């Protein structure tokens, strides 16, 4: 290359441009090499899939001869595709296993040439022999944690034994709680109610505490049908249960109201008998300990008379809504 003859500033500028062009050439070469590698990988993938589908197509042609229905053809094609995919998966697993064995063999050869690893292996062998020679005690179930300072509080550190003990205790408490809950749900109680058609007709029904409002209405309907003609063709879904001026949904259980100590507009929802407050001394801070009979009503009657007392006071039960604070003596 001919030498440039000029000022030093122009010579430096020329050298800078030459270096910049050489750097751009190197970047272009790297980019070309990367594009070539990506093209090669894509061609390999395309060849793999094309070979896969070519093999399936050839096997499908050989296995289907003559007239075949469309459903049989699709079923045969799906079966061949699944079988081919299983073969390819097995082949990939076999290749991965061979690659793993090759790496292990290579690692073993490298370790055989290292003196430090041999010394470490000999030390490990000596430790294993010493451990075998020591007598084992059957009574020791936990490993000794050596190297810890007994004066340091390590309760905040993770401990497998402590976590297993806590999990076992949690499971035991959960089972005990479920056993007590099931026992309470199996207990029977007497529910006093009044069929309301403008006037009250009081009845009683016995039901388990774990029973739902729908099950209670079903039993109540069985006893009311023989006395009230309009109920003979009615179903459970046509009845409503109103307790303390709240319309209770059919899916709620009596156990839910008892456990949560639910409260209605005019009294508690967890007492299903009827009793009055017989306290001698009145206290404005204490809620009256009285329970009213729930009402069983036809939904059609409620729709016709919901603007008239007492139906005008009724509203759907909302467990999130809290009424006035009260306590039961």
Q: Could you read off the pLDDT of 70-118 as tens digits, one per residue? A: 777 777 778 877 887 888 888 888 888 888 888 888 888 776 654 444 4
Residues of the chain under the 70 pLDDT cut:
1-6, 42-68, 111-148, 274-290, 323-329
- State residue 170's pLDDT score: 93
Which residues on adjacent β-strands are paired with residue 241? 248, 296
Provide DSSP, 135-163: PP-TT--S---TT--TTS--TTS--HHHH
Phi and psi (nearest 5°) for 318? -125, 110
Burial of residue 17 (CB within 10 Å: 0-12, 13-18, 19+) is exposed
CA atoms of 255 and 258, how far apart (whole Å): 5
The two structure tokens encoding residue 204: 């009683």
Phi and psi (nearest 5°) for 267? 165, 180
Classify each residue of 54-87 as buried b or exposed e, where b means 16 or more C-beta atoms within 10 Å of its C-beta: eebeeeeeeeeeeeeeeeeeeeebeebeeeeeee
- State residue 176's pLDDT score: 93
- State residue 175's pLDDT score: 92
Is residue 233 within 8 Å of residue 300, measured between CB atoms?
A: no
At 206 the three-state DSSP class reads strand
Sign of the Cα pseudo-torsion (74, 77, 79, 82, in order): negative
Strand 315-316 and strand 246-248: pairing?
parallel
CA 191 to chain centre: 38
**Which helix (H) or strand (E) covers residue 83, if one does?**
helix 70-112
- State residue 324's pLDDT score: 61
What are the residues whose beta carbons fall under 8 Å from the beta carbon of 225, sequence distance 6 or more? 231, 232
CA dist 264 → 182, 204, 328 (Å): 26, 21, 14
Beta strands in 7-100 (DSSP E): none
Is residue 84 within 8 Å of residue 52, measured between CB atoms?
A: yes
- State residue 326's pLDDT score: 47
The two structure tokens encoding residue 312: 């005008």
């Amino acid at each position: 290359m001919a030498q440039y003859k000029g000022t030093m500033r122009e010579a430096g500028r020329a050298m800078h441009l030459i270096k910049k062009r050489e750097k751009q050439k190197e970047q272009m070469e790297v980019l070309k090499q990367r594009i070539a590698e990506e093209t090669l990988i894509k061609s390999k993938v395309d060849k793999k899939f094309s070979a896969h589908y070519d093999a399936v197509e050839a096997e499908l042609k050989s296995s289907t001869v003559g007239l075949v229905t469309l459903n049989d053809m699709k079923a045969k094609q799906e079966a061949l595709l699944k079988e081919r995919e299983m073969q390819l998966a097995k082949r990939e697993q076999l290749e991965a296993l061979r690659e793993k064995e090759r790496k292990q063999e290579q690692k073993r050869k490298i370790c055989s040439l290292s003196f430090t690893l041999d010394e470490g292996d000999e030390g490990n062998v000596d430790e294993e022999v010493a451990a075998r020679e020591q007598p084992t005690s059957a009574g020791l179930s936990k490993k000794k944690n050596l190297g810890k300072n007994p004066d340091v509080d390590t309760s905040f550190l993770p401990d497998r034994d402590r976590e297993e003990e806590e999990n076992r205790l949690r499971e035991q408490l959960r089972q005990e709680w479920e056993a007590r809950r099931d026992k309470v749900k199996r207990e029977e109680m007497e529910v006093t109610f009044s069929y309301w058609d403008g006037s009250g007709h009081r009845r009683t029904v016995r039901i388990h505490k774990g029973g739902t409002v729908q099950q209670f209405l079903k039993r109540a309907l069985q006893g009311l049908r023989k006395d009230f003609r309009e109920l003979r063709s009615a179903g459970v879904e046509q009845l409503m249960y109103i307790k303390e001026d709240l319309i209770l949904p059919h899916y709620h259980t009596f156990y839910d109201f008892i456990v949560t100590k639910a409260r209605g507009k005019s009294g508690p929802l967890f007492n299903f008998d009827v009793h009055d407050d017989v306290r001698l001394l009145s206290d404005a801070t204490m809620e009256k300990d009285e329970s009213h009979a729930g009402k069983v009503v036809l939904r059609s009657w409620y729709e016709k008379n919901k603007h008239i007392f007492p139906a005008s006071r009724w509203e759907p039960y909302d467990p999130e809504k809290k009424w006035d604070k009260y306590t039961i003596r």
